[in-house]
Amino acid sequence: MPLSARKFLNSVSGSFAPMLAILLMPMVAALGFSIDYTSAVSTRASMQNALDAASLSITTLETTTTLADRQVKLQEAYLANGGQGTAKLDSFVVATDGAASIKASAGFAMPTSFMQIVKINTVQVGVASAVTKRPALVEATFKVDKISGYWNKTMTLYGTKFGDTLANKLMKLDYTYNGYGDPKGYGTASVYTINGTTTTLVQQQVCTTATVLSFYGLPSTTITQTDSYGRKYATTCVSTMYPATSAGAVIDVSQMDQLYLRMDVPSGNPSVLKSNDPATSNRLYADGVEIANGETVDIFTLVPCGQSSKQAWEDGGNPVPAAISNADFFYTVTGKCAFNKRPSETVLTQ
């Protein structure tokens, strides 16, 4: 050790050593406080992430779940996501239109390491989270408007429940060509609801075509056609509802996490069209607008809340893009929205 250093350490007459010790104390305390502060910031970040995840998770519970049960689930999810301390459900309000707003908070008395020197044993760390959940489709009603074409075809609505991986049939529309008419063919369309193995007929539209000498005096609802040889065809379509007061195929989709439409056209090319397949979704029209190439259609957003949407399919007889007049499968779908379990309708606002 250098001589000067030994003299400094062995010196008893100077006052610098005590002064240095006094100066070091606040420096050590500041360093310790900095470490505790960094720990508090890290703890707060992990608590915030845990509370956000827990707040989102309770929005997917059944609408009949009580506030007390939601509180229990909130705390369980909070701890499962690495949260410390206690999470509290401050409010869970569902408006008349089904929109929901959730507020939650969490607090934790974090033990300190260095701040205990100044008698601060814990530091209170608090976080808050707010969530909004917009109403979403819980019921869809399908009703055939007009189906034409020379090919038999079927449109089926498939739904996948929350937590399931298998899609089930919920509704189907069958069309059978009557073998007569030019340049458009018509036939019989039948609409069914499907509940497990039970299939129920809710609408049937029967179109009858005949040759006529003149269109004069025909009802305004008559579909008239003239072929390339000048022959005239008159088609009359009669729609029957089961029961008579039925609005169509009413489908409960409140428990569905995913929905898609599938059109099977055995004679078409392609023979299978799906709304969730970017390669074939462009054959679907929504309110007169053809779905763009390469899009995956979300049926939940395609059906407006409390309103009706006019939709159609081009079954494969014409290349797309094409005008909607080329489509053959026309139907109306009406949506009903309310509070729902779909996580994709939930957003963090705080």
Average pLDDT over residues 278-299: 92
Contact yes or no for 260/305 (Cβ under 8 A): no
- Omega before 219 within 30 of 0, i.e. cis: no
What does the alpha-carbon distance between residue 211 and residue 133 come to, in Å, rounded to a whole number?
A: 57
What does the alpha-carbon distance between residue 92 and residue 102 come to, in Å, rounded to a whole number?
A: 5
What band does 19 get if pLDDT is binned at 50, 70 and 90? low
AA identity, residue 74: L
User: At a CB cut-off of 8 Å and minimum separation 6, what does 50 contact?
Assistant: 78, 79, 81, 82, 83, 87, 106
Which pLDDT value is given to residue 59? 84
Domain parsing of the chain, residue ranges = 16-133, 137-344
Average pLDDT over residues 69-75: 93
Which pLDDT value is given to residue 317? 77
Q: Three-state DSSP class for 124?
A: strand
Average pLDDT over residues 134-143: 90
Q: Which residue has the tokens 């992990």?
A: 46
Contact yes or no for 340/254 (Cβ under 8 A): yes
What does the alpha-carbon distance between residue 44 and residue 197 come to, in Å, rounded to a whole number?
A: 52
Neighbour order of strands in the sheet with 122-133: 86-94, 100-111, 122-133, 346-348
Residue-wise pLDDT for 303-337, tens only, equals: 888 889 999 999 877 888 889 988 989 999 999 99
Q: Residue 10: is it exposed, middle or buried by C-beta count within 10 angstroms (0-12/13-18/19+)?
A: exposed
Q: Indicate the pairing of strand 136-147 with strand 329-338.
A: antiparallel
Which of 21-35, 91-105, 285-299, 330-344 reaches the highest mean pLDDT? 285-299
Distances (CA, A) of 157 to 125, 267, 272, 288, 299: 50, 20, 13, 20, 10
AA identity, residue 141: T
How high is the mean pLDDT of the chain? 86
Closest CA to 212 of 231, 229, 236, 186: 231
Lowest mean pLDDT among 153-162, 176-185, 268-277: 176-185
